[in-house]
Structure 1
Amino acid sequence: MKLKYWIDAARFHTLPLSFSGVTLSFLISQSRVNVNLTTYILCVLTALLLQILANFSNDYGDSITGVDNFKRIGPKRTVQCGFISLYEMKIAIYLFSVLSFLSGLLLLYQSILYTNVFIFLFYIIGIFVCIYSSIKYSIGSYPYGYIVGIGDLFVFIFFGILSVQGSYFLYTQTLHMDMFLLSLSMGLLNVAVLNINNMRDMDNDYENGKHTIAGWLGIKYAKLYHITSIFVSVILGGFFIFLNQKTIYQWIFFILVVIFLIFHVKRIIFLKKNKLFNLELKKLILIVFLYVLSIGISNLL
């Protein structure tokens, strides 16, 4: 059945990253004000649709450029393997672009339409930027995911600052500096996830014109970049807890997740075979979600 291949193309194991940021800001917001649950649900739906759009676009774009080939170590892409045609994937990209916009529009109608028209229009532009960026990571004459550092920067902004700080404003109609620090922390963790992906396929990427920070630095310094991203993220997360300290449970939950991150970093340091990065990628995605729960839920206690 083709449904299996569409599920593979959506890369379900990456989807927790899409709603981790909006879930973290929801839990923090709920500890401060009474947040409308519908707003949160629409935030999650919009984030999921955008993530699937990005994954479909990557499948399509990397197949055209040749980055997806028999040398690729990561999971096989559906278009490159012939399970889904280019035409079918293009239709899916159009469909999810429309669905992402409609979901985002419902979200804004629910949360800020009657509050401030200027902010509403600002967010509308933001939705178009998110859709455009989801597609252009791998598609087009100059996909930004193929330019050194740009992919990392966009992941940092969209999965960190916009995901956490942007949704926090929708929940509370306010902005706070401590949430900005937390958004930086989440952004860096997501950059680390991307870096594992780039370290895994760095040789094949370079041969096919995809220039990532991992390929530019080489495996030794790419691992250092990875460790630094996680270390700074933990410092920022710890500072957020320090600023919002209520109970000892906040530190206990946080430290438990940090221990998982330490073991992850240790495995990355000594990892020799590129195909083993696949397992660490999935583990880090799970750790990121546990990180969200540890900070978010402990704030509610």
Structure 2
Amino acid sequence: MKIKYWIYASRLYTLPLSFSGITLSFLISKSRVKNSNFTIYILCIITALLLQILSNFSNDYGDSITGVDNSKRIGPKRTIQSGLISLLEMKIAIYLFSILSFLSGILLIYKSISYKNFFLFLFYIIGIIICIYSSIKYSIGPYPYGYIVGMGDLFVFIFFGLCSVIGSYFLYTHTLHMDIFLLSLSIGLLNVSVLNINNMRDMDNDYENGKYTMAGYLGMKKAKIYHIISILISILLGVFFIFLNQKTIYQWIFFILIVIFLIFHIKRIIFLSKKNLFNLEIKRLILIVFLYGLSIGISNFL
């Protein structure tokens, strides 16, 4: 049965990234607005998951066409590369998830923003369309932006940081706050770090096949420094947020525990030499990012 292949193609282990920022902003909103709508949160989660699966499918499709997915690739085998799913089947799935993402996004906007507020309503609709387009164009098309130095990092920072945290927080509360902006930067940088591990792992093969990532441009040594700086800035932004919103000692306890995990992660990255070991580190960091958002959200809610 191909169901297991589609589950594999969706890259389940990456999906916590799509709802870490959304869950964080929801927990913060619950601590400030008691009637924060749980239905809107669920619709945010569904829309984000559909968009990330769309992005993963598109990446599988695009990298197979360009030749980036080949026998030299160190990362997990992709479904098209392995012959488990055909190009046509994946193309149909991309169209399907594009439609589902759009419908879910429209329902989310309808439930959270009054259509009478025409310009705000239109702004979010355009935002959903841009998200869908960007999910596909990361790897597909004549000029996929994921193949241009720094563009993949920038778009991950925007969509998994700014849009995920600020965009969802506004839907919950219809307000904007500077401290939420700080959190969006923090989460965004951690997501960029996840991408950077992926790019460090495959930097040689990517470069040979015309995919020019930040890691490939910097080289391994400087890519590791870039990685460490991103995480340290993220931690400092988290510290600043808690300082502005400190209520109980539990906020600092929760945060320090996650920072310890991040420090051990940095230590492993510094001394990591075998590129196949980056696979495990990606999964570890994804879990840490999710726990990071959850810890700040829950401790602020207590």
Q: Which amino acid aligns with 1:236?
A: L
The number of equivalent residue pairs is: 301
Which residue of the partner structure matches residue 272 of structure 1? 273
> 1:131-151 deviations in whole A, cap 9, x for unaligned?
000000000000000000000
Q: Which amino acid aligns with 2:242?
A: I
Which residue of the partner structure matches residue 197 of structure 2? 196
Which residue of the partner structure matches residue 102 of structure 1? 103
TM-score (norm: length of structure 2)? 0.99
Report SS of the residue matched to 1:31.
helix
> 1:115/1:227 Cα in 2 relative to 1: closer, same or farther (>3 Å)?
farther
> 1:184-221 deviations in whole A, cap 9, x for unaligned?
00000000000000000000000000000100000000
Aligned-residue offset at 1:79: 0.6
Which residue of the partner structure matches residue 211 of structure 2? 210
1:30 aligned onto 2:33: no
Which residue of the partner structure matches residue 299 of structure 1? 300
Q: Which amino acid aligns with 1:29?
A: S
Residue pairs, 1:38-187, within 5 angstroms: 38-114=39-115, 116-187=117-188
Which residue of the partner structure matches residue 246 of structure 1? 247
Q: Which amino acid aligns with 1:288?
A: V
Q: Which amino acid aligns with 1:98?
A: I
Which residue of the partner structure matches residue 10 of structure 1? 10
Report SS of the residue matched to 2:298.
helix
Aligned-residue offset at 1:116: 1.8
> 1:107-163 deviations in whole A, cap 9, x for unaligned?
000000246221010000000000000000000000000000000000000000000
Which residue of the partner structure matches residue 286 of structure 1? 287
Report SS of the residue matched to 1:28.
helix
Which residue of the partner structure matches residue 227 of structure 2? 226
Q: Which amino acid aligns with 2:110?
A: Y
Q: Report percent identity of matched pairs.
A: 81
Q: Following TM superposition, where does structure 1 have runs of at least 4 consecutive aligned residues deviating by more than 3 angstroms?
A: none
Aligned-residue offset at 1:4: 1.1
Q: Which amino acid aligns with 1:51?
A: Q
User: Could you tell me how far apart the structure 1 residues matched to 2:19 and 2:118 are?
Assistant: 26
User: Could you tell me how far apart the structure 2 residues matched to 1:155 and 1:116 are?
Assistant: 29
Report SS of the residue matched to 1:96.
helix
Structure 1 unpaired stretches of 5+: none
Q: Which deviates further from its counterpart, 111-120 or 53-62?
A: 111-120
Structure 2 unpaired stretches of 5+: none
C-alpha RMSD of the superposition: 0.6
> 1:115/1:172 Cα in 2 relative to 1: closer, same or farther (>3 Å)?
farther
User: Could you tell me how far apart the structure 2 residues matched to 1:115 and 1:23 are?
Assistant: 28
Q: Which amino acid aligns with 2:239?
A: G
Report SS of the residue matched to 2:32.
coil
